[in-house]
Structure 1
Amino acid sequence: MHHTGGPGWRITMDTCGPMMIALYIRDVAGLTGAGSPALSHAEPHIRAADHSRLTAHVGGTDALREQWEQWWTELLAGYPETEASMTPPDFPEFSAMPALHRVVQAHFGAALTWAREQNSAYSLMAAERETLGGHKILADLVQNREMELGRSARDFTLTIVEMPLAEQRAWFIEPNRLIMSQHLLDDQPTFLSYVQPVVELLV
């Protein structure tokens, strides 16, 4: 996790293991466009499988999509204060979501392995950024805005969740959260096009 801050304000950048697992489940279930905001496919690519037989007696694909979206909303609302729990092999957390429950049971091992691999890669990348000062752009954004306004920043917190996503962009979730492709910071002009308006709004 990276923290950038000043008097009364803080920007954090980190990833989230449970959200990675949820992304894997979304993609392996072929739930394209599910969730709000609808994030792009994960990268590396996850091949979708047919779950129609698995979920046929518990509401089918429509129920699976609805239950996944409910889960995703809960993960977003809880991050970073509460770490979502998943308890194999029975996953009681999903007992009220039977379609999702079955798909999670079927794919949890592969999802966990994939998420751990992505988390390790993220940790290496984040450590390299720290060494090279790659996060300085965040403090610069706030300071530049303070100079424009002629005052100090208001008290605010901005939480940036970096995820292994195919599309190089960020998605703003009101009031103070961004989900972002984990390589977006490497492309500073594109990074600024998404993050600068949010910082300006908060400062």
Structure 2
Amino acid sequence: MQHTGGPGWRITMDTSGPMLIALYVRDAAGLDSAGRPALSHLAPKVRPMDHANLIAEVGGLSALKTEWEAWWEQLLKGHPQMVPEMSPPGFNAFANSPALRRVLQAHFGSALTWARERRGEYAALEAEREASGASKLLGDMVEDRLLEVGRGARDFTLTIIELPLTEPRAWYLEPDKIIMSNELLSQPEVFRSYVQPVVELLV
């Protein structure tokens, strides 16, 4: 986790274990374009499987999509907490989402291993950025904006959730969250094109 801040403002960059698991489940179940915002696929790619037989008697694919989208919304609102609790093997917190519960039971072990590997990679990426000074870009953007407007920053917090997504872009979630590909910071101009407008809005 990286923090950047000044008087009255704070920006946090981190990844999210629960969201990694949720997106693994989305891709494994072939729920393309599910959820708001509709994020691109994970990298490395998760192979989709046919879950028709597994979820046929609990509403099928449309029920699974609805249940997954409700879960995703809870994760976005609750970040960085894991809401609801994922507790195998019963996943009792998902009692009202029977299709999602079955898919979670089928994939949780693989999803957890995959998510742990990505978190390890993210920790290495953070260390690399710290050493190269790449993480200073955010603070510089805020400072530049403050010079431009000629006043102190309004109080704000911004949370940037980095995920291993195939598309090098960011998605702004009002009022104070950005989801972005963890490759984006390595492309400063592209990073700036997505994040600068948000900084200008908040500062």
TM bucket normalised to smaller = over 0.9
Mapped to 1, the partners of 2:102 and 2:170 lie a distance apart of: 31
Per mean C-alpha deviation after superposition, the further-off stretch among 126-135 and 63-72 is: 126-135
CA distance in 2, matches of 1:122, 1:146: 30
Partner of 1:30: 30
When normalised by structure 1's length, the TM-score is: 0.98
Matches within 5 A, 1:92-103: 92-103=92-103
Letter in 2 for 1:148: E
CA deviation string 1:14-54 (max 9, x = no partner) = 00000000000000000000000000000000010001111
CA distance in 1, matches of 2:88, 2:140: 44
Quote the Cα distance in structure 1 between the aligned partners of 2:127 and 2:110. 26
Question: 2:5 corresponds to which letter in structure 1?
Answer: G
| One-letter amino acid of the counterpart of residue 32, structure 1 | D
What whole-Å deviation, never above 9, does each CA across 1:107-166 have from its counterpart, x for those lacking one? Answer: 000000100000000001111111221111101110111111111110000000000100
1:156-184, CA deviations, whole angstroms, 9 ceiling, x for partnerless residues?
A: 00000000100000000000100000010
TM-score by length of 2: 0.98
1:11 aligned partner = 11
The aligned amino acid for 1:188 is: P
Amino acid in the other structure paired with 2:4: T
The residue identity in structure 1 corresponding to 2:65 is: R
Q: Give the distance between the partners of 2:132 and 2:161, measured in 1 at CA.
A: 20
Hey, what does 2:82 align to over in structure 1? 83
Name segments (4+ residues, structure 1) moved above 6 Å. none
Report the AA paired with residue 157 of structure 1. Answer: T
Equivalent position of 1:164 in the other structure:
164
The CA RMSD over aligned residues, in Å, is 0.6
In structure 2, distance between residues paired with 1:133 and 1:92 = 44
Question: Unaligned stretches of 5+ in structure 1?
Answer: none
SS in 1 for 2:37: coil
**Structure-1 residue corresponding to 2:51:** 51
Map of 2:42 onto structure 1? 42
State the distance in 1 between where 2:68 and 2:171 align.
Answer: 19
Amino acid corresponding to residue 150 of structure 2 in structure 1: G
Secondary structure of the 1:160 match is strand
Unaligned runs of 5+ in 2: none
Helix, strand or coil at the partner of 1:135: helix
C-alpha distance in 1 between matches for 2:31 and 2:82: 24
Alpha-carbon offset, residue 83 of structure 1 = 2.9
Task: Give the aligned residue type for 1:52.
Answer: A
Deviations 1:40-76 (A, max 9, x none): 0000000100011111000000000000000000000
For residues 152 and 177 of structure 2, the distance between their equivalents in structure 1, rounded to whole angstroms, comes to 21
Amino acid at match of 2:82: E
- 2:201 counterpart of 1:201: yes
